[in-house]
């Protein structure tokens, strides 16, 4: 077990890759009373095309199978409900599927060893049958239909669909009603056996515990189980175009005030994607964020309700900046945003101010066990290593490089999506 001190925060990080390949990261934080544990797979909704174990041919999984699998892993042959187990042990449990990972978690103040062993055991003992898979289809179909009635999700899903040509990021995480109906027991086992091997998973624990004692517990649990050695999962690549599919779309929905996304698609192959994310986020925050002059002007003229939300979505080749707002006069707002973005120069004093804000956010996150775990997990997903030293990256941002990069980026590839009554 290797121990490092996370720079600037004086937090110890204990790391080890077990014999079966499982990555373990432990951050003891003794000034809190609870513990937060997550077990994740490098497997999300856009990992649809891959070579299964012992196969040289690519396999195309039905849309939504990663999310379906998340549901079915909770099914135990004994009939025991994992949620009930954690409730009895005074812990909260949950799971989630994103585009890039599937995560199972619990948090609580006691019974850590029992809860941890149970987490490892129930996830590593799949039980899929024709009966329980068929039953789950109806449950997930209702979940999909429920999200169809949520205006925000409807708008975001259409935005992604219109922004990407072939990359599976364009499809909903939960899939469609049609794709869910096509999922078989064989599909689930193929995906599980490929992506849920310990060498493709990582365990992160943050909170009040003895790291040596807990690492021993984890090793003992994993040593009891036998796994074949496995190579890195081979994923298909997608020849995604820089353009968007549809530059303007209107979605009918029962909303009083139109909801709008204005999204910009950038090719990032020639850039350091991590650095570019910081620069782009800073640029859009300076131009459109809650402290920007444009934001004040839009509010003063009652052109938007709330503020403009800014989100970054990325693949290995592209970054999509999604601007989301509500407005009755959305065409006027879009014109004002586009005009504001024409000036791509950033002043040094503004960049320095934002750097201070980003550093303070790092400090804030370092005192929260959930934020620490989330940061570790996101870094593992994006960089396949634990990178918590954001300070150095933020310090390295400079205005000359910032402005030079901005001038090389094309803002031409964009899609506007409007959710409104008619």
pLDDT tens, per residue, the chain with 422 residues: 898 887 777 789 999 999 999 999 999 999 999 999 999 999 999 999 999 988 889 999 999 999 999 999 999 889 899 999 999 999 999 999 999 999 999 999 999 999 999 999 999 999 999 999 999 999 999 999 888 888 899 999 999 999 999 999 999 999 999 999 999 999 999 999 999 999 999 999 999 999 999 999 999 999 999 998 888 899 999 999 999 999 999 999 989 999 999 999 999 988 888 888 889 999 999 999 988 999 999 999 999 998 999 999 999 899 999 999 999 999 999 999 999 999 988 999 999 998 898 888 888 888 899 999 998 998 888 877 776 567 778 888 899 999 999 999 999 999 999 999 87
User: What CATH number matches the domain at 248-420, 3.40.50.300, 3.10.20.740, 3.30.830.10, 3.40.50.620?
Assistant: 3.30.830.10
Gap between the Cα atoms of 340 and 262, Å rounded: 13
On the 0-12 / 13-18 / 19+ scale of CB atoms within 10 A, 202 is buried
Q: What is the pLDDT of residue 225?
A: 95
Gap between the Cα atoms of 364 and 372, Å rounded: 10
Nearest Cα residue to 378 out of 195, 204, 119, 156: 204
Gap between the Cα atoms of 2 and 309, Å rounded: 40
User: What CATH number matches the domain at 2-235, 3.30.830.10, 3.40.50.300, 3.30.420.40, 3.30.479.30?
Assistant: 3.30.830.10
Inter-residue contact 418 to 258 (CB < 8 Å): yes
- What three-state secondary structure class fits 105? strand
Cα torsion angle, 340, 342, 348, 351, sign: positive
Q: What is the pLDDT of residue 4?
A: 85
Q: What is the pLDDT of residue 363?
A: 81
Q: What is the value of pTM for the model shown?
A: 0.92
Inter-residue contact 36 to 27 (CB < 8 Å): no
Q: Of residues 70, 75, 217, 285, which has the active-site annotation?
A: 70
Tell me the pairing of strands 248-252 and 318-326: unpaired
- Does the active-site annotation cover 131? no
Where exactly does CATH 3.30.830.10 map onto the chain? Answer: 2-235, 248-420
Query: How many other CB atoms sit within 10 Å of the CB of residue 125?
Result: 12
Query: How many other CB atoms sit within 10 Å of the CB of residue 80?
Result: 13
Sheet of strand 59-60, all strands in order from the earlier edge strand to the far edge? 59-60, 49-51, 234-235
Q: What is the CA radius of gyration of the chain?
A: 23
Task: Give the DSSP letter of residue 233.
Answer: P
Q: Is 219 left (phi over 0), alpha (psi -120 to 50) or beta?
A: alpha
Q: For the chain, give the longest Cα–Cα distance.
A: 66
In the chain, how many H helices and how many E strands?
15, 15
């Amino acid at each position: 077990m290797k121990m490092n001190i996370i720079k600037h925060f004086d937090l110890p990080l204990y790391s080890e890759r077990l014999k079966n390949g499982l990555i373990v990261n432990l951050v003891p934080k003794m000034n809190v009373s609870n513990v937060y544990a997550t077990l994740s797979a490098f497997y999300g909704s856009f990992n649809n095309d891959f070579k299964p174990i012992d196969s040289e041919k690519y396999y195309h999984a039905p849309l939504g199978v990663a999310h379906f699998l998340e549901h079915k892993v909770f099914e135990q042959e004994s009939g025991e409900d994992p949620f009930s187990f954690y409730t009895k042990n005074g812990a909260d449990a949950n799971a989630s599927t994103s585009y890039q990972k599937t995560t199972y978690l619990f948090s609580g103040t006691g019974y850590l060893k029992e809860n941890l062993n149970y987490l490892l055991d129930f996830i590593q003992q799949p039980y899929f049958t024709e009966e329980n898979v068929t039953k789950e289809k109806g449950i997930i179909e209702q979940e999909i239909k429920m999200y169809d009635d949520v205006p925000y999700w409807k708008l975001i899903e259409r935005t992604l669909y219109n922004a990407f040509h072939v990359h599976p990021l364009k499809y909903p995480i939960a899939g469609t009603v049609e794709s869910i109906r096509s999922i078989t027991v064989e599909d689930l086992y193929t995906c599980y056996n490929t992506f849920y091997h310990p060498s493709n998973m990582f365990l992160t624990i943050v909170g009040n515990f003895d790291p040596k004692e807990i690492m021993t517990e984890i090793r003992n649990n994993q040593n009891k189980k036998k796994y074949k050695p496995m190579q890195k999962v081979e994923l298909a690549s997608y020849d995604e175009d820089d353009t968007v599919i549809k530059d303007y779309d209107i979605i009918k929905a029962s909303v009083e005030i139109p909801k709008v996304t204005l999204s910009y698609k950038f090719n990032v192959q020639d850039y350091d994607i991590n650095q570019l994310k910081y620069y782009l986020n800073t640029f859009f925050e300076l131009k459109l964020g809650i402290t920007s002059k444009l934001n004040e002007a839009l509010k003063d003229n009652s052109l938007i309700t709330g503020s403009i939300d800014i989100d970054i979505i990325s693949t290995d080749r592209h970054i999509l900046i999604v601007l989301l707002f509500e407005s009755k006069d959305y065409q006027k707002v879009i014109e004002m945003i586009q005009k504001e973005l024409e000036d791509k120069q950033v002043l040094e004093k503004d960049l320095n101010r934002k750097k201070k804000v980003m550093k303070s956010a790092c400090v804030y996150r370092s005192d929260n066990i959930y934020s620490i775990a989330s940061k570790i997990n996101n870094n593992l997903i994006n960089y396949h290593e634990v990178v918590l030293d954001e300070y150095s990256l933020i310090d390295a941002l400079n205005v000359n490089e910032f402005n030079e990069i901005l001038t090389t980026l094309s803002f031409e590839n964009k899609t506007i999506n409007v959710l409104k009554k008619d």
